[in-house]
């Protein structure tokens, strides 16, 4: 049972919640930790920050606070978001609704909810029924909905709760604007950005809402062509709609994962009919020397295309097969035709060390014999075939 405590909230309690929002905006805590007190305050099933491109309806990011939400959020993003009548209402209103509070029961009555598939199948399963949200404009086409999903055991927000939600929504808006200012200032001084400048692969640092915190010159060149990626209103987008939706899903999963967790995303065919992969890797500021990439968790997205990257590129191999730098170097030398003994001599290491690396390379490539792995590496098939788990 979710019980509201909104009517007994003290000034100190309100200030504590608000301070958590500004703390999240500056990277001091996760958004989930800042939103959970609001979820408890209203006896809600969840409180969310739902960021959308208001022009084409694409989901850009989703932050949430509340218990046991990983599976419902996965189901929503992967299957039900496009059927959400509340979102369709927001899209139909457009920027005209910016700054307003929208309450679903004002537009969708009980009869509608009893017959609508989204309410019958998704909302029922998540034990939610009513929804109230404030639409916060971030720029001319990007909005964040500060949404309170109310538990089915309680009714809509009453007049006092609506006033409290309005006050909190004002602070959420200020916190979101402050977050963008912090990002802009931090982007000017990050040591990690200078490191990425020298890489020949297109590389982007992405925030939770896919905001581009940094793009190296190779990435900016890709953006100019619009294939397979481009930047719209400061956020990375994939030209293919299905790829873009899968990127949203991967971003949600990764930002809940441990530092250095990787996911390869195979992209649809490009204009030259060649495959491409976007490799995503989590960077946790607590695990990176000197906060080189900033104070907030982000995702490094690297674009690999066979027309531009050698199949024996050690960095590409490490990304594709989750190899250490030494293991990927050994893999590249195997592909060049060197035997383990020659590799040991080249790298000035023990032969036993090289053999250990070779075993890891074989395991990562799904091969039992070194000759098969070498053949695949030399043909390029190992790198440019569909990687395991590549979606």
Q: What is the pLDDT of residues 154-177, one digit of tens each?
A: 889 999 999 999 999 999 999 999
User: Per-residue confidence at 391, pLDDT binned at 50, 70, 90?
Assistant: very low
Contacts of 77 (CB under 8 A, 6+ apart): 59, 62, 248, 249, 252
- Number of Cβ within 10 Å of residue 120's Cβ equals 12
In which element (H, E) is residue 265 found?
Answer: strand 262-267
Torsion sign across C-alpha atoms 50, 51, 57, 59: negative
**Distances in whole angstroms, Cα of residue 185 to Cα of each of 31, 180, 188, 295, 298:** 20, 9, 6, 12, 16
The pLDDT value given to residue 60: 85
Q: What is the pLDDT of residues 316-334, one digit of tens each?
A: 888 878 888 889 999 999 9
Instruction: Please write down the long-range contacts of 122-126, taking CB distance under 8 Å and 24 or more positions apart.
Output: 122/75, 122/76, 122/80, 122/83, 123/152, 124/152, 125/72, 125/75, 126/45, 126/46, 126/72
Closest CA to 9 of 207, 173, 160, 208: 160
Say if strands 128-137 and 235-238 run parallel, antiparallel, or are unpaired.
unpaired
Question: pTM of the entire structure?
Answer: 0.68
- Percent of the chain clearing pLDDT 90 (strictly above): 52
User: Per-residue confidence at 270, pLDDT binned at 50, 70, 90?
Assistant: low
Domains (ranges, CATH) in the chain?
Answer: 6-184 (3.30.450.80), 191-308 (3.30.450.20), 310-391 (1.10.10.10)
């Amino acid at each position: 049972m979710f019980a509201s405590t909104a009517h007994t909230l003290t000034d100190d309690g309100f200030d504590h919640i608000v301070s958590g929002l500004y703390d999240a905006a500056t990277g001091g805590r996760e958004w989930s930790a800042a939103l959970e007190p609001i979820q408890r305050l209203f006896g809600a099933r969840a409180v969310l920050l739902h960021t959308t491109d208001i022009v084409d309806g694409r989901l850009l990011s989703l932050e949430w606070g509340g218990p046991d939400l990983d599976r419902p959020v996965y189901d929503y993003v992967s299957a039900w978001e496009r059927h959400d009548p509340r979102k369709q209402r927001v899209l139909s209103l457009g920027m005209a609704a910016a700054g307003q509070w929208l309450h679903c029961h004002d537009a969708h009555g009980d009869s509608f909810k009893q017959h609508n598939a989204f309410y019958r199948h998704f909302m029922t399963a998540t034990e939610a029924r009513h929804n109230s949200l404030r639409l916060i404009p971030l720029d001319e086409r990007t909005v964040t909905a500060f949404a309170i999903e109310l538990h089915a055991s309680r009714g809509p927000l009453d007049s006092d709760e609506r006033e409290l939600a309005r006050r909190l929504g004002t602070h959420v808006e200020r916190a979101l604007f402050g977050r963008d200012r912090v990002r802009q200032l931090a982007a000017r001084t990050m040591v990690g950005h200078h490191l990425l400048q020298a890489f020949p692969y297109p590389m982007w640092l992405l925030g939770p809402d896919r905001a581009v915190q940094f793009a190296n010159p190779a990435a900016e060149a890709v953006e100019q062509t619009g294939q397979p990626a481009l930047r719209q209103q400061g956020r990375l987008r994939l030209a293919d709609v299905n790829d873009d939706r899968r990127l949203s899903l991967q971003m949600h999963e990764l930002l809940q994962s441990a530092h250095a967790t990787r996911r390869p995303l195979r992209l649809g065919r490009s204009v030259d009919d060649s495959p491409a992969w976007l490799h995503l890797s989590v960077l946790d500021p607590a695990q990176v020397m000197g906060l080189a990439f900033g104070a907030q968790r982000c995702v490094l997205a690297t674009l690999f295309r066979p027309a531009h990257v050698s199949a024996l590129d050690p960095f590409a191999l490490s990304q594709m097969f989750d190899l250490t730098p030494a293991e990927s170097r050994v893999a590249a030398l195997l592909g060049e035709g060197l035997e383990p003994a020659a590799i040991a001599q080249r790298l000035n290491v023990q032969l036993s060390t090289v053999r250990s690396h070779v075993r890891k390379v074989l395991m990562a490539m799904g091969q039992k014999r070194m000759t098969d792995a070498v053949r695949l590496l030399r043909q390029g098939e190992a790198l440019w075939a569909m990687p395991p788990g590549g979606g």
